[in-house]
Structure 1
Amino acid sequence: MSALPRLNRLLAPDGRCLDVALDHGIFGEGSFLQGIENLAQAVATLVQAGPDAIQLTPGQAHLLQHLPGKNKPALVLRTDTTNVYGPRLPRVLFSELMEEVLEQAIRWDAACVVVNLLWLPDQPELLRESLRNVARLKPLTERYGFPLMVEPLVMQAGGYSVDGDVEKIVPLVRQAVELGADLIKADFTTDLSQYHRVVEAASSRPVLVRGGGRVDDATLLERTYLVLQQGAKGVVYGRNIIQHPRPLDLVRALMQVVHQGATPEAALEALRAGA
């Protein structure tokens, strides 16, 4: 079954996407809950802001899909959970795929499903579990016509810390493509001028850039603009939006950059004007 109909719901007519991630609670890390303590309220605010998609878990997808109207953001459904995001790594790491998650994606009318592909130093078992998760999902997404977004994350040892080394990110992105990813959700590279190599490794699959930890508004808008100029098709931001004092205005500013080609300076001016 073709994934194209759902992919066309996820991506705007220009082929780009702003996806707001609200699935942080599934990872069991308390610091991730800031800004989404009242998740229903956060979802309602974001629907008003009008991003292309909102990323939720099966247990919370109803907060979006029970809202009336045809113009809601598309649903991106999280399919897995892991315990790697705490300040210290636990003794045993895992990456666990949810049971019958594609059936849940059908019930909640998701436009896309997302899964991690995790790489940590000296943790081959975790990578193997992630590879198995992607391999299990791929035939199911083809059977039911879902785009598969794979999240290749290169992390540092000792807790949740992104490794932006392009030499590590590129092969993991390519591995995700070889496993059958329809979209790639990848971190920023430390040297942003090298992001075109990540896009190239994705082999024509749309690349959406993951936001990671909080940064100031000017930095967020600037690096969004820079990766789009190198071929990225959009962004998946969570804490940078949901922990912002004015998430609605920030989404609108980001939509200007993603879809209207606004410069970071113009978007920042619009954001400040909305205060």
Structure 2
Amino acid sequence: MTRISHKARLNRLFRNGGCLDVAVDHGVCNEPSFLVGLENMDMVIDRLVDAGPDAIQLAYGQADLLQNRPGRDKPALVMRIDMGNPYNATRHRVMWSQLQNRDEPLIGALEMDAACVVVNLFMLPDEPELFRQCVENISRVRADCHRYGMPLMIEPLVMLPNDVRGGYQVDGDAEKIVTLVRLASEMGADIIKADPTGNPEDFHRVIEAARCPVLVRGGGKEDLRAVLTKSAALIAQGANGMVYGRNIYQHDNPKAVVSALMAIIHQGASGDEAWDIYNRG
């Protein structure tokens, strides 16, 4: 089987080795709280395109809102091609994850000219079947990604028990995160979207395990100054960028937040410098 190079698509994502990917694919999670700020997706995409991140992450059903816009300088499309039910506050009797198109999982991404696809690798307490389904999903798409030159972003997620905080929140344990990131690397990830370690100073271990570009997952909305400080610390540890959603789209001034994060990723700004950039926005 001939492999098509994925270099051209990766170049659309990474400028100077960095990438800010704004995730607004939360509708596939079937969680009402995730949709606050995403009610009018046409307006959301307008605001994000104007803000100018490197990429916007969408599922197939909303990707046209980005790709129908004219011009070659708009953000690249990262497409979510799986879905599951681990994010709800109440634990489900059966946990599951599956590809949105089982027969041809990449067809929508190819149709929409995505620069990358993303698939989850859930590690939830006492849910081995969910983990197996994620491994099966990744195994299913890996060969197609090689065939069509489509970069594969794997999202390894180590989560706390649902009864600790609800909605299976990030664990943050460096040992668990590094181990699952290593598994994603072993499965052939081209990009890894990883949880931040509880102590950002440990994140270099994630970078070492990945052996490919690493973008940090944002998770829930937090105090913005704390987000910027943590983001700068993670970049200093070797991260290539961020995949942030609620910390951008649920903010009153997404463009200013994007400007601050882009300065951290592409210009090496400190958390304090990024905070000043945000306030000027």
TM-score range, shorter chain: over 0.9
Letter in structure 2 aligned against 1:112: C
1:181 to 183, 189, 199: 189
| Secondary structure of 1:60's aligned partner | helix
Do the aligned residues in 1 keep the contact of 2:124 with 2:168 (CA within 8 Å)? Answer: no
CA displacement at 1:189 relative to structure 2 = 0.6
Q: Match for residue 55 of structure 2?
A: 53
CA displacement at 1:191 relative to structure 2 = 1.2
Matched, 1:147 2:151: yes
CA displacement at 1:273 relative to structure 2 = 2.2
Q: Residues 1-46 of structure 1, C-alpha deviation per residue, up to 9 Å, x if partnerless?
A: 111111111111x111000000000111000001111111111101
Do the aligned residues in 1 keep the contact of 2:192 with 2:213 (CA within 8 Å)? Answer: yes
CA displacement at 1:157 relative to structure 2 = 1.3
Superposition pairs of residues 127-206 of structure 1, within 5 angstroms: 127-158=131-162, 159-203=167-211, 205-206=212-213
2:230 to 219, 223, 244: 223
Identical positions, percent: 54
CA displacement at 1:103 relative to structure 2 = 1.1
Q: Match for residue 109 of structure 1?
A: 113
Q: Match for residue 275 of structure 2?
A: 268
After the TM superposition, which parts of structure 1 deviate over 6 Å for at least 4 consecutive aligned residues? none
**Structure 1: any 5+ residue segments left out of the alignment?**
none
Q: Match for residue 66 of structure 2?
A: 64
Distance across 2 between alignment mates of 1:35 and 1:60: 15
**Structure 2: any 5+ residue segments left out of the alignment?**
none
Matched, 1:235 2:238: no
Matched, 1:214 2:251: no
CA displacement at 1:266 relative to structure 2 = 1.2
Do the aligned residues in 1 keep the contact of 2:105 with 2:141 (CA within 8 Å)? Answer: no
Letter in structure 1 aligned against 2:133: E
Letter in structure 2 aligned against 1:251: V
Letter in structure 1 aligned against 2:223: D
Letter in structure 1 aligned against 2:181: V
Q: Match for residue 91 of structure 2?
A: 89
| Secondary structure of 1:59's aligned partner | helix
Do the aligned residues in 1 keep the contact of 2:122 with 2:131 (CA within 8 Å)? Answer: yes
| Secondary structure of 2:62's aligned partner | coil
Do the aligned residues in 1 keep the contact of 2:174 with 2:198 (CA within 8 Å)? Answer: yes
Q: Match for residue 3 of structure 1?
A: 6
Distance across 2 between alignment mates of 1:244 and 1:50: 16
Normalised TM-score (structure 2):
0.96
CA displacement at 1:261 relative to structure 2 = 1.1
CA displacement at 1:160 relative to structure 2 = 2.5
| Secondary structure of 1:96's aligned partner | strand
Matched, 1:251 2:258: yes
Distance across 1 between alignment mates of 2:206 and 2:159: 16
Distance across 2 between alignment mates of 1:103 and 1:234: 27
Q: Match for residue 43 of structure 1?
A: 45
CA displacement at 1:232 relative to structure 2 = 0.5
Letter in structure 2 aligned against 1:49: A
Distance across 2 between alignment mates of 1:228 and 1:270: 17
Letter in structure 1 aligned against 2:14: L
| Secondary structure of 1:220's aligned partner | helix
Alignment length (residue pairs):
272
Normalised TM-score (structure 1):
0.98
Q: What is the RMSD computed on CA atoms of the aligned residues?
A: 0.7
Distance across 1 between alignment mates of 2:207 and 2:80: 23
